[in-house]
Chain A
Amino acid sequence: MKALSIQQLHKTYKNGFEALNDVNLEVEQGDFFALLGPNGAGKSTTIGIITSLVTKTSGRIQVFDADLDTDRELAKSYIGLVPQEFNFNGFEQVKHILITQAGYYGVPAKEAETHADELLKKLGLWDKRHSSARALSGGMKRRLMIARALVHQPKLLILDEPTAGVDIELRRSMWTFLRDINRQGTTIILTTHYLEEAENLCRNIAIIDKGQIIENTDMKSLLNRLDRETFVLDLKQPLADLSAIADLCCHQIDSTTLEIELCRSESLNSLFNRLSECGIEVASMKNKANRLEELFLTLVESSETQQ
């Protein structure tokens, strides 16, 4: 079953700006799906329309078995949203925010309190349950938004840049939490600017640019398309001359740092053999950029060239 089905979605704002132009997208139930795109590409507009915050110009959206036009209430009841910006009442207590949100979804008070307590404990907010939301740190506010989106136990969770401005330790603990709830059956749609995050978490991906889906596939096939990777090598000894490895596609950053571009057909073993033959010892190695990041930039650039 499809968790989300978007057909021929168009959105033109009152000022004439065409934010979405014939967007078609399907997300399978149980998927962890990445919706990526540069700023202003149409990600937030798409999410806004799915969650009723933005009115569509035309098109059809189905959330599980509910059509957003004909059974909006049922469709909304399936969705939990973690928006990009903090949008809770900062003056309210943390626990009240969760219980109130559950109430909006028709969850009876006792059940709402049980869910709220569970989420507060899981997301490390239990000690702050009686604090006003504005007193929380940035990371805690992000977790509060996730707890709020989950308090009515949605089948589809939409996360619009959930880890923006969150430190790496917290980001990784949020990844673990999200993987867990996905494993338990919640379908997740994620937008993020941290492509490493999408690569780590998501099984399928769509890339949107200038209001159109320019790529929609599974993460593995997309990454397999990467025909070149750039590695940064830290050398044990300073390298004075590049002539011995002139045939390799390399570039010296400083005396002990080399950047080498490798085709998919070439192996790392052959590269290392070659370097060893030339007496070059490598201390450490890393990817210059995240693999998905390289692909993302290539796809967006080629889409811009075509237009």
Chain B
Amino acid sequence: MRVARHQQHWIAFSTIVTREIRRFLRIWAQTLLPPAITMTLYFIIFGNLIGARIGEMGGFSYIEYIAPGIIMMAVINNAYANVASSFFSAKFQNHIEELIVAPVPNYVILAGYVAGGTARGLFVGLIVTLVALFFTQLPVQNLFITFSVVLLSAILFALGGFINAIYARSFDEISIIPTFILTPLTYLGGVFYSISLLPDFWQHVSMLNPVLYMVNAFRYGLLGASDVNLWLAFGIIVLFIAALSWFALHLLDKGTGLRK
């Protein structure tokens, strides 16, 4: 052994992260450009054109109110998509075998892919934030809350993308979850409206949606306004991260979708 085992693990981890970052930067036209364009359209259509007629929401101009949700939506989608597509491609092209035969513990494989997905989520989040600043102001009320919520949310959805990729047997199967679960949860997660506008029953139903907590906690960090309790939001995000990490590691240990 050339270096101590913990150093080997650290080198393996940083190798996976570097490779993941290099990958999404190499294919920037597929990974970084589309969210910038889509979110610009959201700001133009929902923010400027329609938002001007809606007026205020929660004490803020409509475009200001939806900006945090739109940024969070971009972070969530990209963190998820990065890990799902990268890990599934590695399985599909069999180059995941490079990692399986190497002395890399499963927790390092998981951490490396999740860190790569998180990096893309944050990178895209930064791009969308810069786009948002062309349309509205974003007065950061609490930098720590803003950054920690966006970081934890990116980690959570990167984990989700990883689990999806482990189970997926075709490229179709890595688009099913984003299309039928992730997108509805995001759109109904308080990105475009305050749940106080909903009837009581639908308010209670909305409270079961984890994305609502992320969007509102992030909005609290930026604007100081939220429909949910901040500590409950942090608790839910951390709980989901713990549960999905355990489950992803369990699947890796079992070799699900990886070993015959």
Interface of A toward B, CB cutoff 8 Å? 13, 48, 51-55, 72-74, 76-77, 79, 81, 83, 85, 87-92, 96, 100-101, 103-109, 111, 148
Contacts and interface: CB of A to CB of B under 8 A. Distances in A.
A72 B101 contact: no
Nearest to A88: B95
A73 B98 contact: no
A299 B103 CA distance: 38
Contacts of B102: 76, 101, 104-105
A20 B54 CA distance: 70
Contacts of A81: 101
B101 A106 contact: no
Contact of A77 (B11, B103, B105): B103
A303 to B, nearest CB: 25
B93 A73 contact: no
Given A106-B11, A108-B2, A109-B11, 20 more contacts: A48-B260, A53-B100, A53-B260, A55-B255, A55-B259, A74-B1, A76-B103, A77-B1, A87-B97, A90-B93, A92-B19, A103-B11, A104-B12, A104-B16, A104-B99, A104-B103, A105-B12, A105-B102, A106-B5, A148-B98
A101 B260 contact: no
Contacts, number: 88
17 contacts: A48-B260, A54-B260, A76-B103, A87-B93, A87-B95, A87-B97, A88-B95, A96-B19, A101-B98, A103-B14, A103-B18, A104-B15, A104-B16, A105-B8, A106-B3, A106-B5, A106-B8
A124 to B, nearest CB: 22
B260 A55 contact: yes
Contacts of A77: 1, 103
A115 to B, nearest CB: 11
A106 B260 contact: no
B15 A73 contact: no
Contacts of A13: 260
Which of A55, A90, A100, A107 gathers the greatest number of chain B CB atoms within 10 Å? A100
